């Protein structure tokens, strides 16, 4: 099924607040909703492509529009360095700077505490980063992160939190969770454009149910327009992963969007949509595409492998992306490693795959056939492995979705 999502920029005076969330249909925890933001409607559940530095790697904004993207992610930390918040503000925000007419979500820079852990130190005041570009120092406080995001003009801003690896145990995890709670008031107080930009707090606490509840209780009191679930997809056991997601979705407000940060593996986004998550992001789709791996209904397709050399068929027969319409696996196989064209084409396909996977899942909720849709997806995805993992079956059982083992 192909979906066309028309452009509709919303004037600030047409909205009571910069985010309106309407649930169209629900099955147990799963929701098909419309999230209205200043730069148009977003159908949820939704996968958000990641343009860390304000640009997608290997994909143009025109192509993002064509494949149906209506909300993408950029990173405050990297944009603060280059080109800088002041320049972006002078040209009217990131939408104008990159000529993107749809919605943008910005990460606060908190994730860089993990990804650039060797280059930073965190204390109660904020985070001190050593620049990976020129070794200069940046002091990123909650106030600084929000100020830069106000300059960027993103539709959804993330609160700066204290981020540690998911598998961290002991005092440091508790310290990070409690500091995240203390910082939320500083984030909210620094927000200068609440009439046109949203701020989402981030629930932390690792895989410790007590800490997650502590953070959930404190952040839900702030009554913000949406919430994020952070600190997962960092190497934890899959059972711990889904149980924390369900713990959070059960406790977060039912009438607010829920964003699961850093999750973009196809099985994970399907499963977590069934648990009540509305938004996802991850660099995985384009990163793996640049290494020659494509998503398909039957799992990952490694186009560098010799089996693809003589396959004069598209990545996926029923896919309507421009890559599958115009190119064969054989062409991509012989082009990978020699021309950047192949990496570009696979990235376009992978993004289309995830965006439309979410749109099709959403439609299945509306049509009262979510169980059928999820079973079909899993039967195909694990067809050549011969078995659906037990954690998937047990998780979906909690969502009242009975899975037929292969």
Q: What is the helix (H) or strand (E) element at residue 172, kind and residue range?
A: helix 171-190
Tokens of 150: 């106000």
- Asked about 237 being catalytic, the answer comes back as no
- Phi then psi for residue 273, to 5 deg, are -60, -40
Distance CA 158, CA 199 (A): 6
Q: Which residue is catalytic, options 41, 144, 162, 281?
A: 281
Give the CA radius of gyration of the chain: 21
Cβ atoms 155, 37 nearer than 8 A: yes
Distance CA 59, CA 292 (A): 15
Distance CA 193, CA 151 (A): 10
Cβ atoms 241, 269 nearer than 8 A: no
- Asked about 155 being catalytic, the answer comes back as no
SS3 157: strand
Residue 67: CB atoms within 10 A of its CB come to 20
Cβ atoms 291, 270 nearer than 8 A: no
Distances (CA, A) of 145 to 15, 85, 109, 399: 26, 10, 7, 37
Distance CA 240, CA 313 (A): 39
- Give the DSSP per-residue string, 296-362: ETTEEEETTSGGGTT--S-SSTT--SHHHHH--HHHHHHHTTT-HHHHHHHHHHHHHHHHHHHHHHH
Q: Which residue is catalytic, options 41, 107, 208, 278?
A: 107
CB contact burial 101-132 (16+ within 10 A = b; e otherwise): ebbbbbbbbbbbbbebeebbebeeebbebeee
Q: Which residues are catalytic?
A: 107, 281
């Amino acid at each position: 099924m192909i979906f066309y999502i028309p452009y509709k920029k919303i004037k600030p005076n047409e909205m009571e607040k910069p985010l309106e969330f309407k649930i169209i249909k629900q099955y147990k925890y799963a929701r098909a909703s419309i999230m209205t933001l200043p730069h148009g409607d977003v159908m949820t559940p939704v996968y958000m492509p990641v343009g860390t530095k304000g640009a997608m790697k290997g994909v143009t904004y025109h192509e993002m529009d064509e494949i149906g993207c209506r909300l993408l992610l950029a990173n405050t930390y990297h944009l603060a360095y280059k080109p800088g918040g002041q320049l972006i503000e002078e040209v009217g925000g990131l939408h104008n700077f990159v000529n993107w007419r749809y919605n943008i979500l910005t990460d606060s820079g908190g994730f860089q505490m993990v990804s650039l852990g060797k280059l930073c130190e965190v204390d109660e005041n904020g985070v001190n980063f050593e620049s990976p570009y020129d070794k200069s120092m940046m002091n990123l406080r909650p106030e600084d992160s929000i100020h830069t995001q106000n300059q960027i003009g993103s539709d959804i801003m993330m609160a700066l939190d204290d981020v540690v690896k998911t598998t961290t145990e002991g005092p440091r995890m508790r310290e990070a969770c409690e500091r995240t709670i203390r910082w939320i008031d500083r984030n909210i107080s620094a927000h200068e454009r609440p009439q046109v930009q949203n701020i989402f707090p981030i629930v932390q606490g690792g895989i410790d149910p007590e800490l997650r509840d502590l953070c959930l209780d404190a952040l839900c009191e702030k009554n913000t327009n949406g919430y994020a679930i952070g600190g997962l997809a960092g190497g934890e056991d899959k059972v711990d992963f889904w149980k924390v997601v369900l713990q959070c979705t059960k406790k977060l407000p039912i009438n607010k969007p829920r964003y699961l940060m850093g999750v973009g593996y196809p099985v994970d986004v399907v499963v977590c949509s069934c648990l009540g998550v509305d938004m996802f992001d991850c660099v995985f789709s384009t990163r793996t595409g640049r290494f020659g791996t494509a998503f398909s209904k039957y799992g990952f397709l490694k186009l560098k492998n010799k089996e693809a050399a003589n396959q004069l068929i598209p990545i996926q027969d029923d896919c309507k992306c421009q890559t599958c319409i115009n190119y064969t696996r054989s062409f991509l196989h012989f082009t990978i490693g020699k021309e950047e064209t192949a990496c570009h084409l696979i990235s376009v396909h992978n993004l289309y795959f995830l965006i439309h996977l979410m749109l099709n899942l959403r439609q299945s909720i509306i049509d009262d056939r979510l169980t059928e849709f999820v079973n079909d997806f899993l039967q195909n995805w694990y067809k050549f492995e011969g078995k659906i993992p037990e954690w998937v079956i047990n998780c979906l059982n909690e969502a009242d979705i009975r899975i037929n083992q292969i």
